[in-house]
Amino acid sequence: MIKVAFYDAKPYDKPSFENCGEPRGLQFRFLETKLNEDTVELANGCDAVCVFVNDDVNAAVINRLYKLGVKLIALRSAGYNNVDVRAAFGKVHVVHVPAYSPYAVAEHAMALLLTSVRRIHKAYNRTREFNFSLSGLTGFDLHGKTVGVVGTGKIGRIFIDICRGFGMNVIAYDRYPAEDSGIAYVPLQELFRRSDIISLHCPLTDDTRHMIGADAIAAMKKGVVIVNTSRGGLIDAEALLEGIKERKIGAACLDVYEEEANIFFEDRSGHILNDDLLSRLISMPNVIVTSHQAFLTEEALTNIAETTVSNILSYFEKDGVCDNELCYRCGNIERCKKERKERCF
């Protein structure tokens, strides 16, 4: 029996992981708390830990996991910016779920965009109070608009397909352009300058952190709509707020927020929100915030559980090689030069 400490467990996580993992020899210790330096001891006696986007898997946590005998960190997400992969190298192996339901995230991005530009959320609130006035609900057609897509992995390309279905003009930026994709790639600054709508679908790295900042916003069209379903740190939230106040940004659709770790995924309705910046953003009439729910579909939850369980079993039951391992050794974390023929260490 492989014992797994499952941190930041939510009610919607348990059924899929129990159904997929327990028949295959995994025993989950579901913990509501997030993994950090104060809670790492809860993994004592476990072979692996399963973590999500807001668990803090820093060097100190990794060192303690290593001393506790934990051999594997299994992310149940694609992003891994919350894990110090460099510190893990040589001590604890790290695996992730590179794709669970790219359709879920891409569709949510479009749902946010449509809700914003057609004022659907405002109309819903009005009609609930039997107010059927159309004043202030004028939107604009997506057809013919230019959308700039930053990041053309699986999610970004599905979002592009959706946009093309609406008759939108698509331009894109990616450090590693997809060959023979038919996508019109442009430099990032040109994308900022030309786009009516900008949607972010790239990972958070040192190079992409705050890629949407004051300078980028200054280069954008007046009235630009920004959509972010990737990672909050891609956007400098203070610069975003200033751009909204200055009427430069027409709307912002956010499923993620840089300081979301102690806010999202929890019911804060009975409490005063201490994050003034988030409070001000939410108060803006042209800002829509959802709490990191783009992934949350039945299909995605099933795929996340199946891939995570397979990742764990591939380490403990086979030859120890996992296609989804994150390795610092090669300097190309997701595209290991060893082509997964053997363990990275």
Report yes or no on 156 lying in a domain.
Answer: yes
Q: Are 336 and 327 in contact (CB under 8 A)?
A: yes
Q: pLDDT value at position 327?
A: 78
Q: How far apart are CA 8 and CA 317, in angstroms?
A: 26
Rounded to the nearest integer, the mean pLDDT of the chain is: 93
Mind listing the pLDDT tens digit for each residue in 90-135? 999 999 998 888 899 999 999 999 999 999 999 999 999 999 999 9
292 carries an active-site annotation: yes
The question of whether 260 is a catalytic residue gets the answer: yes
What mean pLDDT do residues 265-278 have?
Answer: 92
- Active-site annotation holder among 93, 231, 258, 325: 231
Contacts of residue 86, Cβ cutoff 8 Å, sequence gap at least 6: 328
Q: Same structural domain for residues 321 and 238? A: no
Residues 96, 114 share a domain: no
Q: Strand (E) positions, the chain?
A: 2-6, 26-30, 48-51, 72-75, 93-95, 146-150, 169-173, 197-200, 224-228, 249-254, 287-289, 325-326
**pLDDT for residue 332:** 60
Domain extent, residue 217, equals 102-289
Q: Please pick, among 93, 157, 292, 325, the residue that the annotation labels catalytic.
A: 292
Cβ atoms of 225 and 196 within 8 Å: the answer is: yes
Q: Note whether 138 and 36 are same-domain residues.
A: no
Show the CA angle centred on residue 64, arms to residues 58 and 69, nearest 5°.
125
Classify residue 337: in a domain, yes or no.
no
96 is catalytic: no
My answer on whether 125 and 266 are in the same domain is yes
* 70, 92 contact by CB (below 8 A): yes
Same domain as 89, residue 23: yes
CB 296 within 8 A of CB 104: yes
Q: Is the pLDDT of residue 38 over 60?
A: yes
What span, in angstroms and rounded, lies between the C-alpha atoms of 277 and 78?
A: 27
Same domain, yes or no: 271 and 312 = no
134-185, pLDDT tens digit by residue?
999 999 999 999 999 999 999 999 999 999 999 999 999 999 999 889 999 9
Domain check: are 125 and 213 in the same one? yes
The pLDDT of residue 333 is above 70: no
The answer on 243 and 130 residing in a single domain is yes
Q: Are residues 58 and 120 in the same domain?
A: no
- Number of domains composing the chain: 2
Determine which one of 260, 266, 298, 342 is catalytic. Answer: 260
Name residue, tokens 């990032």. Answer: 188
From 280, 293, 308, 332, select the one nearest 78 (Cα to Cα): 308
End residue of a domain, out of 238, 265, 289: 289
